[in-house]
Amino acid sequence: MSRHDHGPTSGHTDSPGDGHDHGGHGHAGHAHGVSADADRRWLGIALALITGFMAVEVVIGVVARSLALISDAAHMLTDAASIVLALIAMRLAARPAKGRFTYGLKRAEILSAQANGLTLLLLGVWLAYEAVRRLLSPPEVAGGLMLATALAGIVVNVAATWCLSRANRSSLNVEGAYQHILNDLFAFIGTAVAALIVVLTGFARADAIATLVVVALMVKAGYGLLRDSGRIFLEAAPAGLDPDALGDRLVAQKQVVEVHDLHVWQITSGQAALSAHVLVEPGGDCHAVRRTLGELLRDDYGITHTTLQVDHAPEPVLQVARTGATGEDSHCADSHGPVHRDGPHAH
């Protein structure tokens, strides 16, 4: 686990407002909880378990003529692919930032999460089609062989799920692989129940019904991964963080007159970043304000990648702030996003 701790830096240039322009960038370490090497080790163990059992299950599924077993084997193939993809993404994300990739390749993990979500949805569509076809015309199923294989599959998937639970699931990349294997565990449980019904009652359609239940779980997990990874690619604010409330909190600090051009987004899962233009009252200590805001963002919101441009407020903006006006008068001719001032203002 690596840890970075760069001290804040500031720039000083002339500005038409009052002659001062202070920019600051803060960056602190990121808690990971589990080392990257440990993550790769746990994923490697899970991969070995899954690929070994998958080969056996394909043969048994064909012999037993069980769609549930074959679908489980197909799902395990995507499990294996998701883990391989996660391992590759980890390697790419660990590369240092350089050249044109100023954040490095950290979002390779988010690409992996999107691929995992998409494969869950596509596999779910195919299995749903096959299950409906078998509901209409159910084949004979070897219930005993199906039950024994499903029970063995539960054991293997419990072990693989436990391995991935030991890795850092705050990463969408690892979470994607985890969701694949967890859904496979549910699939084997459903298959075992269906096999028991076939053995006890001869009701062959139980095989297809169990598959449809698993499809519903796969669609739910796949949609969740696509939604969360899509938010990161669209640079939405982290889930649970309201940028308007955050802007109001910043502008309520001492000496701060206005906050605009406020942007907060995620570089990758678990790593949020923020930039903003902050205006302080004439005579205020820009450096002290920047330090205060940086500490607030780090301690209360866990945002350690911060870039704050801090200026003294020009007279027009100061007058608007003092009178509580809600006009569009701002330090920037083209402010991106809402302007936050102390007192009532539009969001």
Q: Which of 186-190, 242-246, 318-322 has the highest mean pLDDT?
A: 242-246
**Using a CB cutoff of 8 Å and minimum separation of 24, what contacts does 53-62 make?**
53/152, 53/153, 53/156, 54/79, 54/80, 56/149, 57/149, 57/153, 60/145, 60/149, 61/149
- Please give the pLDDT value at position 300: 92
Do 295 and 134 form a contact (C-beta atoms < 8 A)? no
Query: Rounded to the nearest 5°, which phi and psi values hold at 331?
Result: -65, -30
Query: Would you give the DSSP letter of residue 257?
Result: E
For residue 65 the two structure tokens come to 């003529």
Q: Is the pLDDT of residue 318 over 80?
A: no
Q: Any idea which of 1-5, 83-87, 113-117, 219-223 has the lowest mean pLDDT?
A: 1-5
Average pLDDT score, the chain? 78
pLDDT band at 316 (very low <50, low <70, confident <90, very high): low
Percent of the chain with pLDDT over 70: 80
Grouping H, G, I as helix, E, B as strand and the rest as coil, residue 256 is strand
